[in-house]
Structure 1
């Protein structure tokens, strides 16, 4: 049960980070639907230090490029 709660909190923390990046809002100005600032920040900071966010961004860009390639191939038929 605790592992499920921790996994849910991590998922919500990731969603909060993506929201902050996408909306360009300040950490403490995020909607109250997300976990507390301290929870999100304590999850985000080690990921930043380990380089996880850079890998996530690269993976996202690769997925976007792959989707664009498939879309172009499909539209050329």
Structure 2
């Protein structure tokens, strides 16, 4: 037996044998934290995330989206908690920390911030590079 939170999005399985291989992880993701990206901001960031952030070699489908991982990183950075203290409703701290290390060492987070900064400056019609 399957159920849906939003039309067309299966988010869980109630079968006892787990034969349909759909996990209940996504049930936990509907919790709102002040650091979570909104849907509107997620739509703006989505193209940049796939352009700028390095892609992990795919041997199987990922358990977590880049947006969910970014929510975990933002939670830790805002609250200043230990990585292990990230709430259980976000991706596991080891996964979040691994991506943070990879993205930071490859300069992807800085690049993402520069692109967003230039987009914002373009919206308010200022010089894109930040110089007056």
TM-score bracket for this pair, using the shorter chain length = 0.5 to 0.7
Structure 2: which 5+ runs fail to align? 1-59, 127-132
The one of the two structures with greater contact order (alpha-carbon pairs below 8 A, sep at least 6) is 1
CA distance in 2, matches of 1:48, 1:34: 20
- Choose from 31, 34, 43 the match for 2:90: 34
SS of residue matched to 1:8: coil
Q: CA 1:50–1:68 in 2, change beyond 3 Å: closer, same or farther?
A: same
Structure 1: which 5+ runs fail to align? 71-77
CA shift, 1:7, in A, is: 6.7
Name the count of aligned residue pairs: 66
CA distance in 2, matches of 1:52, 1:67: 23
CA shift, 1:19, in A, is: 3.0
Using structure 1 for the length normalisation, give the TM-score: 0.65
Q: CA 1:31–1:64 in 2, change beyond 3 Å: closer, same or farther?
A: farther
- Higher helix fraction: Structure 1 or Structure 2? 1
- Choose from 44, 50, 70 the match for 1:14: 70
SS of residue matched to 1:39: helix
Whichever of the two has the greater Rg, that structure is: 2
- Higher strand fraction: Structure 1 or Structure 2? 2
CA distance in 2, matches of 1:9, 1:49: 20
